[in-house]
Amino acid sequence: MTDLQNSLWTGVHCNLIKLIWICGCFIYPCPILNGMKKHFWKIVALVVLILIGASVLYSKQTTERANEGVVIETHIKGNPDAAVTLVEYSDFECPACAQFSPYIKDLMVEYGDDLRFEYRHFPLINIHPQAVPAARAAEAAGQQGKFWEMHDKLFENQAVWTRSSSPSVAFNQYAEELGLDMGKFKLHLNSTTITDSINTSFNDARERNFTGTPSFLLNGEKMEFSTFEEFKEAIISAIEASKAS
């Protein structure tokens, strides 16, 4: 085998070339040279099969690479052992969720020692087409320990990227600002493991009959409130009750 052939066997398309070589072994022994027109459609069909096989193989390899090293973790702030747990089901494209985000931050500053806060995805895909890509961006950042930092950037800049014709450009910009490894970040954006985890969280919210965002659970019970003050008071009451017991 020549040096050129050796180099071809070592690249990204190594498996595709192997397929072509193997199929070539079946093509050339047949009487193509004596009647090429007669075998034209056989050749076309074979080429199509090669292309389909190569596409499936490439897709599988890409998926495996995107999922490599991906670990899905629960996103928690505050005291992980606190007696009171607040769970938010949220959507990065939801304006109400963006408005709630700074209130949650303040709440954690004040009561973080007595409160376990957990963030879960509930992308309302029927009205927010960029909610899932944004959730993937947050999870991809989370693979490098920067979930909450990306979470904050997505909410703080929601008015920018939701109006952009290419939100992915903004997501990449935020990732660069956070000092992420961009190769890993872009690879993990396509992770099916991450997408599956977002879907699992979404289905969990639907099973709880949640219909909008943000929705909250306080110690496993759905919260009902009209104002942030009512929301805060319910949490404070739960904390005080846990200390009294």
**pLDDT, the chain, mean:** 85
Per-residue model confidence as pLDDT tens digits over 165-189: 999 999 999 999 999 999 999 999 9
63-87 mean pLDDT: 93
Q: Does one domain contain both 111 and 164?
A: yes
**Per-residue confidence band for 64, with pLDDT thresholds at 50, 70 and 90:** confident
Report residue 214: phi and psi, to 5°: -75, 145
Q: Does one domain contain both 191 and 145?
A: yes
Per-residue model confidence as pLDDT tens digits over 25-55: 444 455 554 555 556 566 666 666 666 655 5
Predicted local distance difference test score (pLDDT) of residue 46: 63
Q: Does one domain contain both 50 and 147?
A: no
The CB-based long-range contact list for 214-218 (8 Å cut-off, 24+ gap) reads 214/88, 214/89, 214/90, 214/91, 214/94, 214/96, 214/97, 214/100, 215/88, 215/89, 215/122, 216/86, 216/87, 216/88, 216/89, 217/85, 217/86, 217/87, 217/89, 218/84, 218/85, 218/86
CA–CA distance from 118 to each of 75, 80, 222 (Å)?
6, 9, 14
Q: Does one domain contain both 89 and 147?
A: yes
Q: Does one domain contain both 22 and 81?
A: no
Domain range for 88 is 75-244
Name the pTM for this structure.
0.76
Predicted local distance difference test score (pLDDT) of residue 66: 80
Q: Does one domain contain both 83 and 197?
A: yes
Q: Does one domain contain both 236 and 139?
A: yes
Q: Does one domain contain both 118 and 153?
A: yes
∠ CA 90-94-100, nearest 5°, is 65
Q: Does one domain contain both 46 and 165?
A: no
Q: Does one domain contain both 195 and 90?
A: yes
Q: Does one domain contain both 122 and 81?
A: yes
Domain boundary among 15, 42, 67: 67
